[in-house]
Structure 1
Amino acid sequence: MARKWTFTDRRRPGRPGTRRPVKALIVRMARENPTWGHRRIQGELARLGCTIAASTVWEILHGAGIDPAPRRSGPTWRQFLAAHAHAITACDFLVVETVLLKRLYVLIFIEHGNRRLHLAGVTAHPTGAWTVQQARNLAMDVSDRIAGLRFLIHDRDPLFTSTFRQVFEAEGLQIITTLSRTPRMNAICERVIGTLRRELLDRILILNERHLALVLQEYLIHYNRHRPHQSRQQRPPDLTTPRAHDVTDLNDQRTVHRRPVVAGMISEYHHAA
């Protein structure tokens, strides 16, 4: 009796599963046609002689991590930023406390496309007039590249006055003001401020305004000329093409030299001449 009623021939409950080739074809149609929804794909499969429910098509697309058609019709936020990064620059204030508990303010700018960092100025008493003057100085310093920029991102700090915006609007830039308490709208600038703190300011004591300006200027040279960036295939901002190095034997430590910068806080490594 036990050998007879093993139920090995009983069919599993529910509808039969969708065949793997059909699933692959559904995913392929969705990737090749970003504007097609699950019902449009169902209709195309019906024309090919494959009968399948629209809900099944939706489940297959959802399981493959493919969003509905309206969300696939345009570029993602990452793709949008990558496409327009060459035309975007951003600015923000960095606050630094000195040894004597004096608060200093640093105005920095960063170009999204090449990650080039600019130090606009350091002051203990920022005003609207001071910010406008730093904007004019920056516009003169980057006059050869400012024609390729289209957008300037900054927050709602009252120091960014209408005159400050007019300096860049006169150069053809469109001002984008971030929302309140939304640092991710200016994420690249916030990230470089975090980099300045982690790599430099959290590891050194600042005496006064002049000391901070000297330290930041030296770090700025390291950041723009040597520090690698993942978004630029590990190239520094000032390097437009990859370096062509000969293959070296890194087992021989004598071929690599260390050069300390910023009072030894940061190391740079170079091939021996």
Structure 2
Amino acid sequence: MIGLLCFVLAVLASPFKSKLRLEAENAALRHQVIVLRRKLRGRVRLTNHDRWFFVQLYRWFPSILTVITIVQLETLVRWHRAGFRCYWRRESRRRGGRPQIEADLRALIRQINMENLLWGAPRIHGELIKLGFSVAQSTVARYMVKRRGPPSQGWKTFLRNHAPDIAAMDLFVVPTIGFELLYGFVIVRIDRRDLVWINVTANPTAEWIARQITEAFPWDGAPGYMIRDRDRIYGAVVTRRLRAMGIRDKPIAPASPWQNGFAERLIGSIRRECLDHAIICGEAHLRRVLKSYADYYNRFRTHRSLKKDAPVSRSVQHTGVIRSRAILGGLHHHYGRI
């Protein structure tokens, strides 16, 4: 900058054009010396002031290219073109019009749009008005997520809307201390993951399963659909009982246990959290253990799929002394305030 000031003073003091060109070349040479004196090691480091100085001299006196040595000629021309673009970009920027909305409001528009795939710009605009935002509907349409094809709900939404009307049932085997086999039967509702029915038998038959379904659901509280596997134990008696109760039978595909994943997951929890830690003496013993676990499962055990709530919703306790109660002989504990 000192060199540029000296050059300006020389220009004002000199009345001849040839002297102006000479002073410009001298100013360029002096500034190069100043830049080289700042060099410590490696390549020469130029500041934005240095670049601006050389570009201005080049604009006024293109002949100084012959005396520039610390940078290449192409570099100086490139600086000049970059400055030209920045200048006209600044001059062409929008000075009026509608101001841009805040980033938080843009994120809220996209969130509402993604969470409600059936909503258009007018509906989202109405919600924003009720939330206290003053924004145009055209602005809402501009910041909505662009999607191809007609709007449609996802499988998660579809299953969640039908979950209260779906139940699943399955059988599992439990060995006893005498190496006999007992059969447990469970029915679970998909909506709250609640264990509707659990029972034990040594000789499962279609008639026994049909009776369990009748005892599990009252006539006015039966689900609309029942998921089951294709075990031959579910004979014509079971299908007729389901039809008589207004329940649609939905067997899974052959060799596809993941299609009955809720019942399979429940049976896995029963094994890992209860049966794997006990030796069953007989049918009465197994029935007592499973009834105790079913009560713990429905009333106290939290589930990640239920946002850490139990199938029978537990209230949040804030006051009182915390006490624990042993369940299944201390295998699990329930904690509450009294």
Question: What TM-score comes out, normalization by structure 2 length?
Answer: 0.56
Residues 1:74 and 2:152 aligned together: yes
Helix, strand or coil at the partner of 1:105? strand
Which sections of structure 2, spanning at least 5 residues, go unmatched? 1-68, 83-99, 101-105, 119-137, 139-144
1:269 aligned onto 2:335: yes
- Structure 1 position 247, deviation (Å): 5.0
- Contact 2:198-2:294 within 8 A present in 1 as well: no
Counterpart for residue 317 of structure 2: 245
The aligned length equals 220
Percent sequence identity over matched residues? 29
Give the alignment partner of residue 235 of structure 2, picking from 161, 175, 183. Answer: 161
Task: Note closer, same or farther for the CA distance 1:34–1:214 as it changes in structure 2 (3 Å cut).
Answer: closer
After superposition, residues 172-251 of structure 1 pair within 5 angstroms as 172-239=246-313, 243-246=315-318
Match 1:258 to one of 302, 305, 324? 324
CA distance in 1 between partners of 2:280 and 2:316 (Å):
39
1:91 aligned to which of 169, 191, 202: 169
CA distance in 2, matches of 1:33, 1:238: 29
Q: Structure 1 segments of 4 or more deviating over 3 A?
A: 5-11, 30-35, 66-70
Question: What are the within-5 Å matches in structure 2 for residues 12-51 of structure 1?
Answer: 31=114
Shift of 1:8: 7.4
**Cα distance, 1:265 vs structure 2:** 1.3
Deviation at 1:88, TM superposition (A): 0.6
Map Cα deviations across residues 63-95 of structure 1 (whole Å, 9 max, x no partner). Answer: x9x98647xx43222222111111011100111
SS in 1 for 2:199: strand
Deviation at 1:182, TM superposition (A): 1.6
Question: How much has 1:262 moved relative to structure 2?
Answer: 1.1
Against the structure 1 CA distance between its residues 144 and 31, is the aligned structure 2 distance closer, same or farther, given a 3 Å change threshold? closer
Residue identity matched to 2:228? H
Letter of the aligned partner of 1:220 in structure 2? A
The whole-number CA distance in structure 2 between the counterparts of 1:217 and 1:256 is: 26
1: CA distance, partners of 2:230 / 2:147 = 34
Match of 2:216 in 1: 138
Structure with more of its chain in helix, by fraction: 2
Structure with greater contact order relative to length (CA < 8 Å, sep ≥ 6): 1
Shift of 1:162: 2.0
SS at match of 1:194: helix
Q: Which residue of structure 1 aligns with residue 6 of structure 2?
A: none
Show CA shifts across 1:38-68 (max 9, x none): xxxxxxxxxx9xxxxxxxxxxxxxxx9x986
Cα distance in 2 for partners of 1:3, 1:113 equals 73
Range with greater deviation from structure 2 (164-173 or 101-110)? 164-173
Q: Distance in 1 between matches of 2:116 and 2:191?
A: 30
Structure 1 residue 245: deviation in Å?
2.6
Which letter maps to 1:245? Q
Asked which structure has the greater CA Rg, the reply is: 2
| Residue of structure 2 in register with 1:58 after alignment | none
CA RMSD of aligned residues (A): 3.3
Counterpart-to-counterpart distance in 2, 1:171 and 1:164: 11
- Is contact 1:127-1:159 (8 Å) kept? yes
Name the SS for the 1:263 alignment partner: helix
Distance 2:331 2:271 in 1: 12
Deviation at 1:191? 0.8
Give the Cα separation in 2 of the matches to 1:187 and 1:269.
Answer: 30
Distance in 1 of aligned mates of 2:322 and 2:319: 13
Correspondence for 2:199: 121
- Residues 3 and 97 of structure 1, relative CA distance in 2, 3 Å threshold: farther
The 5 A counterparts of 1:51-70 are: 69=149
Distance 1:227 1:219 in 2: 10
Q: Deviations over 1:153-196 (max 9, x none)?
A: 10101111122122122121111110122222111111111110
CA distance in 2, matches of 1:85, 1:234: 18
Asked if the contact 1:106–1:119 (Cα under 8 Å) also holds between the matched residues in 2, the reply is: no
CA contact (8 A) 2:117 2:153 kept: no
